[in-house]
Amino acid sequence: MGERGFTLIEALAAIFISAALVAIFAASMRVGLDSFRKGSSAVEMESEKRFIVKSLESGIGSATPYRERYGDEAAFVFRGGARDLSLETACGEVEPVTCGGTKLVAFDSTARGLVVSAMTLPPAPGAVPAITSVYEEVEDLTFEYLGGDPWRGGWDAANESALPEAVRARVSFKDGQKTVFTILLRASVKARAQDAGKDKGTNE
């Protein structure tokens, strides 16, 4: 019996089946890569959002009365509105602003996102805060301030002669997620503890 080879129809069928399998495999790979990219992007977004919240907590929580280099009087420069806040901070590190001393730090909710600016104190003549970071992930950011009374929509420490006890921030991200958190000002907490100690000493 002679050997029988592939007919043209059988060869074409084999080629068609192979091409179909390659197409299915390529489509599966594409779906898998898309899913991986989306998953990686989501993880990166969550990490960035946590970083933004941490930056706000660290920067605002470290607010302190500013003392002139050659004076002893504390100058309260903490000016907060519904969507902007500028304050003095004396710290080793305020993300994303490296302090290394006293700085003026400003947080502004703008159409561009959350804009962070900073300037070393005391300022050089004509110096203005320089933008250090812009977080485009932020859709909106609002602040409220606590100072013994119900929460307020603004706070000017120059008029109050004191820092607020706490700041409440509401952040809306462009992916639709919202978060609300309260930041205790360490300088105010320390001042209250010192006052409590004085009161206790007086009572005793």
Write the pLDDT tens digit of every residue in 3-27: 565 677 777 888 888 888 888 877 7
Q: How far is 143 from 156, CA to CA, in rounded Å?
A: 13
- Domain positions in the chain: 50-196
Helix runs in the chain, H state only:
8-61, 157-160, 186-203
Exposure class string for 102-119: b at 16+ Cβ within 10 A, else e: bbbbbbbbeeebbbbbbb
The confidence score (pLDDT) of residue 89 equals 83
Q: What is the mean pLDDT of residues 102-108?
A: 90
pLDDT, residue 4, reads 60
pTM: 0.69
Looking at residue 7, its pLDDT comes to 79
Model confidence over 130-144: pLDDT tens digits?
999 999 999 999 999
Q: How many CB atoms lie within 10 A of CB 186?
A: 15
pLDDT recorded at residue 99: 46
pLDDT band at 92 (very low <50, low <70, confident <90, very high): very low
Q: Please indicate whether residue 57 or residue 73 has the higher confidence score (pLDDT).
A: 57
CB 163, CB 77: distance < 8 Å: no
Three-state DSSP at 175 gives coil
Mean predicted confidence (pLDDT) in 80-92: 85
